[in-house]
């Protein structure tokens, strides 16, 4: 089986916020060039510097627009890094790997949730992903940066350099939540040893969207090497990879359990509602639904909310796709919804959260989603939830 996960960066999350930090004047100049190229590709980029010769005073007095848009880091670099990583921003360090390693050390926590981190030497010759290469997207970001800069990407993850199946990449591309992250190493070990890996998929009960993604992923690979062997569900003798909406029970040694992200949240809110309100409303809703946040595939709303800071921050921190729809699209959704004259007068549609959740499900599966959680009101926020059809 042949896998070419790094042949392009087309899988990159365009909503990813990227912070570039430099430590020398030459490094700063390179960071401005990179920022310009990324912004042309529609990425949101912030430029920072820790170079003492580029102080706040110099920045304020500069006539250079790029320089004036730069933020000087006066605090400890580890504290600054921790703040960026808490918001799940991608980090690009222009300088030595050692600087980056020391800066991120206290903030590295979970390979499924850590921010992607990339290091580039100040001459722009090499691009090195050092954290969250697969799930976070650091490897893809490195490939993109190398292409933009005509540099060399230095990829060190074993499955990539050996052109082998990576189960965490498979999970990410097929929108599957990883239930037990320890299974990643176990499956990768078998793959790299040349052993056949078994996969059991509950085709009958996973959403149609995920069936299509999994089949497309496997069809895209060359199956002649027989590296992945599909077995029935439930697997009679266990399997290395199990894809199911059910909770894993008595996991066999060596298995990794992957669950489809089968729910969509619809959200409405007052303008400039704080992130804390958004976060609290969503988490209270998930608690009532007894759903983990890892099971959320998308968050949907009306297009006037596409730049709502609180919603965007929540989605960025939790790596959840945020989609919006026009008034006409929402009003065209069929079903019984909790109508509000107040909402209609303000945004032109009688209900945002319920209609958006159902529409997002329908668009993804070409089949009506099921509204499982009608509009619930919180402080300045409304939340609803829909489930993908089987």
Are the beta carbons of 146 and 124 closer than 8 angstroms?
A: no
Query: What's the pLDDT score for residue 41?
Result: 82
Are the beta carbons of 91 and 116 closer than 8 angstroms?
A: yes
Helix (H) or strand (E) holding 378: strand 370-378
**pTM for this prediction:** 0.82
Check residue 223 and report its DSSP letter.
G
Query: What's the pLDDT score for residue 223?
Result: 47
Query: What's the pLDDT score for residue 286?
Result: 96
Are the beta carbons of 209 and 273 closer than 8 angstroms?
A: no
How far is 236 from 246, CA to CA, in rounded Å? 16
Query: What's the pLDDT score for residue 1?
Result: 36
- Categorise residue 285: left if φ over 0, alpha if ψ from -120 to 50, beta otherwise: alpha
301-351 pLDDT, tens digit each: 999 999 999 999 999 899 899 999 999 999 999 989 988 888 888 888 989
Pairing outcome for strands 90-94 and 381-387:
unpaired
Query: What's the pLDDT score for residue 10?
Result: 44
* Residues 56-68 as b or e (16 or more Cβ within 10 Å = b): eeebeeeeeeebe
Q: How many helices (H) and strands (E) does the chain have?
A: 15, 17
- What the block records as the tokens of 355 is 């209609």
Residues sharing a CB contact under 8 Å with residue 231, sequence separation 6 or more, in sequence order? 198, 199, 200, 239
Query: What's the pLDDT score for residue 230?
Result: 87
Ranges of the chain whose pLDDT falls below 50 = 1-11, 63, 223-224, 253
Query: What's the pLDDT score for residue 55?
Result: 64
Q: What is the three-class DSSP state of 182?
A: helix
Helix ranges, the chain (H): 25-40, 56-61, 65-68, 77-86, 97-104, 138-149, 158-161, 167-173, 182-192, 208-220, 275-289, 309-318, 327-331, 341-347, 353-365
Query: What's the pLDDT score for residue 4?
Result: 36
Residues sharing a CB contact under 8 Å with residue 184, sequence separation 6 or more, in sequence order? 111, 167, 168, 178, 256
Query: What's the pLDDT score for residue 340?
Result: 84
Work out the end-to-end distance of the chain between its first and last CA atoms, rounded to an integer number of angstroms. Answer: 29
Chain centre to alpha carbon of residue 269: 23
314, 320, 351, 348: which is closest to 336 by C-alpha? Answer: 351
CA dihedral (17, 161, 126, 32) in degrees, to 10, reads: -20
Query: What's the pLDDT score for residue 7?
Result: 40
363-387 pLDDT, tens digit each: 877 677 899 999 999 999 999 999 9
Residue for token pair 């600054």: 80
How many CB atoms within 10 Å of residue 294?
Answer: 16
Are the beta carbons of 347 and 382 closer than 8 angstroms?
A: no
């Amino acid at each position: 089986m042949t896998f070419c996960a790094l042949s392009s960066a087309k899988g990159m999350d365009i909503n990813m916020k990227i912070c570039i930090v430099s430590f020398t004047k030459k490094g700063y100049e390179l960071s401005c060039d990179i920022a310009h190229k990324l912004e042309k590709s529609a990425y949101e980029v912030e430029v920072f510097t820790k170079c003492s010769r580029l102080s706040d005073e110099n920045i304020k007095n500069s006539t250079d627009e790029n320089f004036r848009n730069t933020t000087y880091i006066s605090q400890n670099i580890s504290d600054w890094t921790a703040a960026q990583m808490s918001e799940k921003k991608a980090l690009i360090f222009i300088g030595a790997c050692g600087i980056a390693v020391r800066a991120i050390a206290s903030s590295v926590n979970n390979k499924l949730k850590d921010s992607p981190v990339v290091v580039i030497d100040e001459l722009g010759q090499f691009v090195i992903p050092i954290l969250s290469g697969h799930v976070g997207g650091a490897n893809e970001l490195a490939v993109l940066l190398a292409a933009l800069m005509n540099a060399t990407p230095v990829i060190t993850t074993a499955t990539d350099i050996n052109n082998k199946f990576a189960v965490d990449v498979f999970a990410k591309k097929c929108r599957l939540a990883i239930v037990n992250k320890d299974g990643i190493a176990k499956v990768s070990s078998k793959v790299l040893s040349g052993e056949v890996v078994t996969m059991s998929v509950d085709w009958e009960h996973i959403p149609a969207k995920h069936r299509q993604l999994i089949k497309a992923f496997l069809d895209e690979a060359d199956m002649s090497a027989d590296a992945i062997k599909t077995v029935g569900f439930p697997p009679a003798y266990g399997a290395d990879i199990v894809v199911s909406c059910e909770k894993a029970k008595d996991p066999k040694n060596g298995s990794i359990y992957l669950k489809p992200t089968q729910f969509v949240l619809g959200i409405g809110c007052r303008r400039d509602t704080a992130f804390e309100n958004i976060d609290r409303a969503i988490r209270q809703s998930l608690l009532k639904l007894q759903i983990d946040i890892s099971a959320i595939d998308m968050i949907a709303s009306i297009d006037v909310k596409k730049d709502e800071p609180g919603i965007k921050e929540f989605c960025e921190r939790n790596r959840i796709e945020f989609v919006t729809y026009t008034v006409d699209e929402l009003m065209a959704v069929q079903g019984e919804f909790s109508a509000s004259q107040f909402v209609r007068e303000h945004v032109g549609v009688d209900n945002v959260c319920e209609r958006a959740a159902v529409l997002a499900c329908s668009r993804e599966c070409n089949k009506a989603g099921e509204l499982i959680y009608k509009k619930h009101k919180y402080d300045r926020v409304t939340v609803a939830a829909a489930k993908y059809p089987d």
